[in-house]
Amino acid sequence: MTQETDSSNSIIRQLPPEISNKIAAGEVIQRPSSVVKELLDNAIDAGADHIKIVIQNAGRTLIQVIDNGSGIGKEDIPLCFEQHATSKIQDMDDLFRVRTLGFRGEAMASIASVAQVTLKTKRPNDDIGYKYEIWGGEEKSFEPAAVEDGTSVSVRNLFFNVRARRQFLKTDATEFRHILKTVQQAALANVDIGFELIADTDTIYDLPKDQSMKERISGMFGKSYKASLIKFREETSYLTVHGILADPKLTKRSRGEQFIFVNGRPIQHRWLTHTILSIYDTWTGEKDYPFYAIFLEVDPKQVDVNVHPAKEEVKFEDERSMIKLTKSVVKKALNEQFLVPDVTDREQQKEGSSSRGFSSNFNFGGRKNTGSQQKKEKPVKFPSRINFDRPEKSSQKRGQSDFSKQLYDFDDQSKKRGAEQEAEQSNRPQRMRDRGFWQLHDCYILTQTRSGLCMIDQHAAHKRIVYEKALSATEAAIPSTQQLLFAQTVEFSASEFSLLEELHPIIQRMGFNVQLMSGNTAMVSGVPADIDVGDEHSVLKSMLHQYKELDGKFDFDERRKLAIAFASKTAIQKGKKLTDLEMENLLDQLFACEEPYKDPLNKATIEYIPLEDIEARFR
């Protein structure tokens, strides 16, 4: 006997298409760059050899992708916006030999459900094209139109009907950087296609078709790349690995220029990325990120591209062999190009050591290294605008512990005022010897207190000092700037220049005098007073890279993130030998800070070991 179900009591209902499409859009269309990716995939699959991308307000107002591909027939146009409607999958077997970029049939339906979409298309053999409009999943118009061969898709007011999603979008600069990365991926994987990117009337890229890989890379990331790229290729019966590696000297302090493709599809693969970066460790530091574009060609049957809603991840049938072969090929290419640097004993390389602990006289491929390791030692510059005449008073006023007082209470005369203070300053070298400051491995400053041992991390301490000074400079009415004798022109990548435009007012208040110019270039005519002249190029670029790293990890405002980025670049590094006077000045300035015990990212600047703990070790 079958029991009938009363539908009025049912709590499970099938969702209407307009709701299910919005839910699907949450997986596929996460931000404006997701729309750009899906439209680019379709344009490439359509056989276009020129694609134009137009962006307004970082994709919030308009995303338009125009291609000269095969176009769409009249009867297929409405089907484009139906969920799971696709021309690229016919049966189950097709799902395991996918050769196109798009295949699920979710993208256009998802986009149309959360935006106002206008599609114009014409096939080359048709006499007339068509215009189709769909807003929020609802068809508005479908009519003949005079259009050029190919397809143009305009997506306006993204998430106009899902306000919560729109509110979670990041700043225009952040969203545009994601769009830029998406375009870069498509342009690198398809050098036979011309790409044009226009953002708010500015032409960011105008890349002709049929470029060499080196020409394409230098066209996107700067002319400095062209002479520093290593091409490689290795073929096996299972896998073909080829691509471009950059000279280690082109490393940056932020991610973003590392590209991996499988059968032309950009992917993310943590294990493979970690493996490649570990190979570069021989030449670079732990937080340096080199440029590379690596292409893996494998039988589609050996890889599953259907494991991620946005098609960003893939699964290999034999992942271990793929990793092992790729590692071997990349390592071979780098070792053939560069000599492996000799790592000498720390004591032998003290004078010219870098923060990485390598010998200062590396030889890369027979070329003499002219990096910072070879620069002549310069006196350490400490910020001059912080008042540290009487640091003990500043510490006490903020109610700090007796620990900081112990550093300054060895000499009772230090509490006197007026002329006695001048005498104390002249007596500093003797007082230093009395108090016992010394440097451990050119990294830590050690000094005794009344009841123990104090250890100061010189890099973290100076980072706190520079950070507070930079933060206070952004609030000053007139920034402290040293003018350069000759203004310097600095070339940036498109993503760097976009970030520079966003942060330009704050950078100016910090003491930089930067004029934005056309073609992703800027002219620097002044820098903060504590920067060595000649280093402005690397400081400015490093600040932008460090800012991007902080942007996704810490919920700080723009001023704080930029001040941290500036401090991270300009603070003295571990491995820097300091004089006795420099060590004392560093401590004076540290205890004049608002928060001397932590660096800007809350890492300890000072550790204290009580005398009792030290004595206990000898019992």
3-state secondary structure of 140: strand
For 353-373, the pLDDT digits (tens) are 333 333 333 333 333 343 333
Q: Which tokens is 85 given?
A: 């409607």
User: In this predicted structure, what is the pLDDT of residue 194?
Assistant: 96
Residue 298 has pLDDT above 60, yes or no: yes
Of 66, 67, 77, 80, nearest in space to 111 by CA: 80
What does the DSSP 8-state code read for residue 227?
G
- Select from 257, 284, 236, 275 the least CA-distant residue to 188: 257
Q: How far apart are the first and last CA of the chain?
A: 86
Rounded to whole angstroms, the Cα distance separating 409 from 435 reads 10
Is a pLDDT exceeding 80 seen at residue 585? Answer: yes
pLDDT tens-digit readout, 144-178:
999 999 999 999 999 998 888 888 888 888 899 99
Task: Determine the Cα–Cα distance for residues 596 and 460; give it in Å rounded to an integer.
Answer: 10
pTM listed for this prediction:
0.66
- Mean pLDDT lowest for which of 202-216, 415-429, 437-451? 415-429
Measured CA to CA, the distance from residue 197 to residue 220 in angstroms comes to 11
Nearest to 608 by CA among 430, 405, 388, 398: 405
Measured distance CA(301)–CA(313) in Å, rounded: 16
pLDDT bucket at 556, cuts 50 / 70 / 90: confident
- Residue 520 backbone phi and psi in degrees, to 5: 60, 35
% of the chain surpassing 90 pLDDT? 29
From residue 268, how far is each of 256, 262, 321, 599 by CA, in Å? 12, 10, 18, 33
pLDDT value at 425 more than 50: no
Compute, in degrees rounded to 10, the torsion defined by CA atoms 175, 177, 178, 184: 150
**What pLDDT digit, counting tens, does each position of 484-531 carry?**
888 888 888 888 888 888 888 888 888 888 888 887 888 988 888 767
Ranges 25-39, 82-96, 523-537, 582-596: which has the least confidence: 82-96
Q: What is the mean pLDDT of residues 229-254?
A: 89
Tell me, what's the pLDDT at 491?
85
At residue 130, φ and ψ (nearest 5 deg) are -140, 155
Closest CA to 40 of 98, 111, 135: 111
The one-character DSSP state at 29 is: -
Lowest mean pLDDT of 60-69, 181-190, 320-329, name the range. Answer: 320-329
3-class state of residue 118 by DSSP: strand
The pLDDT, as a whole number, for residue 494 is 85
CB 471 within 8 A of CB 559: yes
In this predicted model, what pLDDT tens digit does every residue of 104-132 receive, in sequence order?
557 888 899 899 999 999 999 999 999 99
53's enclosing H/E stretch is strand 50-56
Q: How confident is the model at residue 99 (pLDDT cuts 50, 70, 90)?
A: low
CA-closest candidate to residue 510, choices 563, 589, 464: 563
pLDDT-above-70 percentage for the chain: 74
Give the C-alpha separation, 133 to 141, whole Å: 5
pLDDT value at position 13?
67
Residue 119: which H helix or E strand, with range? strand 116-122
For 37-54, what is the mean pLDDT? 93
What does the pLDDT look like over 372-405, one tens digit per residue?
Answer: 333 334 444 444 333 333 344 333 434 444 455 5
The secondary structure of 404-447 as a DSSP string is HHHTT-S-GGGG--THHHHHHHHTHHHHHHHHT-EEETTTEEEE
**What pLDDT was estimated at residue 95?**
45
DSSP state for residue 252 in the 8-state scheme: B
pLDDT attached to residue 182: 95
Q: How far apart are CA 393 and CA 551, in angstroms?
A: 36
